[in-house]
Amino acid sequence: MKILSVIVIVLTLLIVALLSLPFLVDLAAYQDQYKPLIEEALNRKIHVQGIRLTIWPRIGARITGFTVMDDPSFTANPFASLSSLDVGVKLWPLLTRKIEVEEITLRDPVITVIKNKAGVMNVSTIGPKAPVPADRRQPESPQQQGDPLEALALLAVDRLSIDGGTVVYRDLSTAPETEYRIQDLVLALKSVHLGETPTIHLSATTLPHNLPVTLDGSFGPLVQALEIKQYQFTLAVGRMVLALHGALLGGQLDAVVTAPSISTADVPVALPLTRPVAIKDLRLVAKAPYPLKSGASPLALADVTDLALAVVMGKSSLAVRGNAIGGHARVMVSSPSVDTADLPVESGLKKPVELRNVELNADLKGQEVRLSNLSLEVFNGQVKAQGGTSLGTSTPPFNGKLTLQGVQIGQALAAVDPQSPLQVSGTAAADVAVAGRGFSWDDLMRALEGPGHVEIKDGKIEGVNLMAEAVALLKVAGISLEQAKATAFSTIESDFTIKHGSVNAQKILMDSHDFQATGHGTVGFDQTLNLAMNLNLSQSLTQKIAGSSALVKAASQGGRLRLPLLISGTLQKPSFALDARGLTGKVQEQVQEKVKETVEGLMQGTTKPADLKKEGKELLKGLLGR
């Protein structure tokens, strides 16, 4: 019984002694010994508010008010600060006077990452200074500093964790300056030892998008250099999940990024899309020199040796392949069928249209984008285009060429406006070369210009009968014409130029059964019409009309009537009128010709005064219509 009491007393004293150690042992005295070592390892000045021994939950030390100052070339403010830093050591090695760190915990850390106006980040100077030979020693630069990965490799800890952290990223190189924040950061690193492969778990919330982010994976094995034999991570941003794996060896970063499915609805930035688009089976293979080039454009930052994905829009899908080598990106897009109803942008079409055998090849180098080929089948015909633009401005300049072959123009116009009272059918071919600046409707109205040629074969103009309109304007009675409100034609052909928001048509040629027409004029982007046409009626139709109108008979020449017709209004509601000046001119020509013939007859004696009187009466009767 006495032995048991002694044991209890000894254990009690031992526990009391252990619990008293944090108050009896003053670790602050060791600051002067370890502080220079930490500052050298981090290449930063540090400040410590207090340090004391801990017994529970494990033996170690707790540092409070720990602050790491920023590189003086950036700011005089703290780079990192935390409420406490707990370091726990293993008990059994400690009993043999050997210190092995079991766990390091950072509580409520705040880290501020700054990118200055020169594009250099303050994290680039963290870590021990790399040794430089005496004969090559130069003033320090960020490239001569160590790297955070090298500093991590120097640690020997079973677990490194961050609880409740905040990371602020401030970019001073943009105008205006931008700032992003990661809060509620939780990080757990396990097996941080040289020769081992650490595992990582990270979770946080990003602002200003309030987006949850998680990262899980492993990397290593750790070596005392900036090299990772392999890494494998799963990154989740909101509902988007990416798998990353690769290596960092010999100053080259290799990466393979894959994702089974990503929806644009989950992207944390606003996209100019009318409906979500799914990215399926994403695979990206890239390599880049490390450290990454500061201030380089995304294309010059890394070489993408392979890019493959599928863009799924409703029931339509686009296969995308490409690469980016030496800052020159190439993209190939193809699809057997695309329904315009599935497009995530406004197409301007009132009825869905199927695009078949779509192929697109594009190049991007610097600010220059070149569409080397776009081909597709639509409206039973073939469409081909090419062009280019320069990025970097709010109204980028562009140029392009468009070719149509065998397009059913009636189907095209019906898709644009099926309710229009005026429709044109036929098989169309066209060549157009355009240039402009900007892609908004106002920009196109103001700056789009270029020449072109169009030809439509074997069609009809539904909604108007040009011959019926012409006869009605002549006020000819008793003439029976086709009552259908349409104008059939074998050919419509014209050269044209686009400028100032209108299509200026020159040399309009139209061939129909009852007439041939020539003309010119403009058709506005707002569908306004201003056309001047000359209708040359067939001989049979001219004779039919001339029998009921002396005016038509007087205006006829060579057995055919030429009617100068003015077309105005809009494509929705055209209006027609005769050009009185042109028609009067023809009548005057006929009168002058008749007078000339009569005078010559008198001079030659072939015409008698009585005949002259009779012919004059007939001419006046014909002109006056009675």
Q: Which tens digit of pLDDT belongs to each residue from 386-440? A: 999 998 888 889 999 999 999 999 999 889 888 877 788 999 999 999 999 987 7
Tell me the per-residue pLDDT of 188-222, one tens digit each, with 9 for 90 and over.
Answer: 999 888 888 999 999 999 988 889 999 999 998 98
* Six token digits for residue 284: 């990206």
Rounded distance between C-alpha atoms, residue 333 and residue 447, angstroms: 29
* Six token digits for residue 357: 């055998």
With respect to residue 340, please indicate whether it lies within any of the assigned structural domains.
no
> Percent of the chain having pLDDT more than 90?
39
Amino acid present at 453: H
Given a cut of 80, whether residue 554 has pLDDT beyond it is no
Residue 527: pLDDT band (50, 70, 90) is: confident
Q: Could you tell me which residues come within 8 angstroms of residue 35 by beta carbon, excluding any fewer than 6 positions away?
A: 46, 48
Task: Report residue 188 CA to chain centroid gap.
Answer: 38
Rounded distance between C-alpha atoms, residue 601 and residue 609, angstroms: 10
Q: What is the pLDDT of residue 118?
A: 85
Residue 511: pLDDT band (50, 70, 90) is: very high
Rounded distance between C-alpha atoms, residue 227 and residue 250, angstroms: 7
- Cβ atoms within 10 Å, residue 24: 9
> DSSP code of 314?
T
- Cβ atoms within 10 Å, residue 134: 6
* Six token digits for residue 566: 């003015």
Rounded distance between C-alpha atoms, residue 235 and residue 246, angstroms: 14
Rounded distance between C-alpha atoms, residue 388 and residue 339, angstroms: 25
With beta carbons less than 8 A apart as the criterion, state whether 483 and 525 touch.
no
Helices (H), 341-383: none
Rounded distance between C-alpha atoms, residue 157 and residue 106, angstroms: 13
Distances (CA, A) of 60 to 21, 25, 344: 11, 12, 59
Rounded distance between C-alpha atoms, residue 114 and residue 93, angstroms: 41
Rounded distance between C-alpha atoms, residue 40 and residue 536, angstroms: 97
Amino acid present at 217: G
Mean pLDDT in the chain? 81
With respect to residue 220, please indicate whether it lies within any of the assigned structural domains.
yes
Mean pLDDT lowest among 96-110, 254-268, 373-387, 407-421: 96-110
Rounded distance between C-alpha atoms, residue 133 and residue 398, angstroms: 54
Given a cut of 70, whether residue 119 has pLDDT beyond it is yes
With respect to residue 422, please indicate whether it lies within any of the assigned structural domains.
no
Helices vs strands, H then E, count in the chain: 12, 31
pTM over 0.85: no
How many domains, in total, are found in the chain? 2
Give the end of a domain, one of 211, 238, 265: 238
Rounded distance between C-alpha atoms, residue 187 and residue 216, angstroms: 10
Give the end of a domain, one of 203, 238, 273: 238
Give the end of a domain, one of 205, 238, 271: 238
- Structural domain of residue 181, as residue ranges? 23-131+143-238
- Higher-confidence residue: 201 or 586? 201
> DSSP code of 28?
G
Rounded distance between C-alpha atoms, residue 325 and residue 493, angstroms: 46
Q: Could you tell me which residues come within 8 angstroms of residue 231 by beta carbon, excluding any fewer than 6 positions away?
A: 217, 218, 219, 220, 244, 245, 246, 247, 248
With respect to residue 345, please indicate whether it lies within any of the assigned structural domains.
no
With respect to residue 429, please indicate whether it lies within any of the assigned structural domains.
no
DSSP characters over 63-117: EEEEEEEPPTTT-SSEEEEEEEEEEEE-HHHHHTT---EEEEEEES-EEEEEE-T
Mean pLDDT lowest among 112-116, 430-434, 509-513, 538-542: 538-542
With respect to residue 362, please indicate whether it lies within any of the assigned structural domains.
no
Closest of 312, 310, 306 to residue 320, by C-alpha: 310
With residue 554 as reference, give the H or E element that holds it: helix 550-555
Rg value, the chain, Cα: 43
Tell me the per-residue pLDDT of 589-601, one tens digit each, with 9 for 90 and over.
Answer: 554 455 455 545 5
With respect to residue 285, please indicate whether it lies within any of the assigned structural domains.
no
φ/ψ of residue 422, rounded to 5: -115, 115
Distances (CA, A) of 404 to 384, 452, 486, 525: 7, 11, 25, 20
Q: Could you tell me which residues come within 8 angstroms of residue 506 by beta carbon, excluding any fewer than 6 positions away?
A: 494, 495, 496, 497, 520
The arithmetic mean of pLDDT across residues 558-582, rounded, is: 78
Closest of 241, 322, 310 to residue 281, by C-alpha: 310
The arithmetic mean of pLDDT across residues 371-398, rounded, is: 93
With beta carbons less than 8 A apart as the criterion, state whether 387 and 426 touch.
no
Taking each helix axis as running N to C, give the angle between helix 466-474 and helix 539-546, from 0 to 180 degrees, rounded to the nearest 10. 30
With respect to residue 215, please indicate whether it lies within any of the assigned structural domains.
yes
- Higher-confidence residue: 495 or 151? 495
Query: Three-state DSSP class for 434?
Result: strand
Q: Could you tell me which residues come within 8 angstroms of residue 49 by beta carbon, excluding any fewer than 6 positions away?
A: 64, 65, 66
Q: What is the pLDDT of residue 136?
A: 46
Q: What is the pLDDT of residue 148?
A: 56
φ/ψ of residue 473, rounded to 5: -70, -30
DSSP characters over 378-412: ETTEEEEEEEEEE-SSSS-EEEEEEEEEEEEHHHH
Rounded distance between C-alpha atoms, residue 467 and residue 486, angstroms: 9
Task: Report residue 617 CA to chain centroid gap.
Answer: 77
Which residue(s) pair with 570 in the sheet? Answer: 528
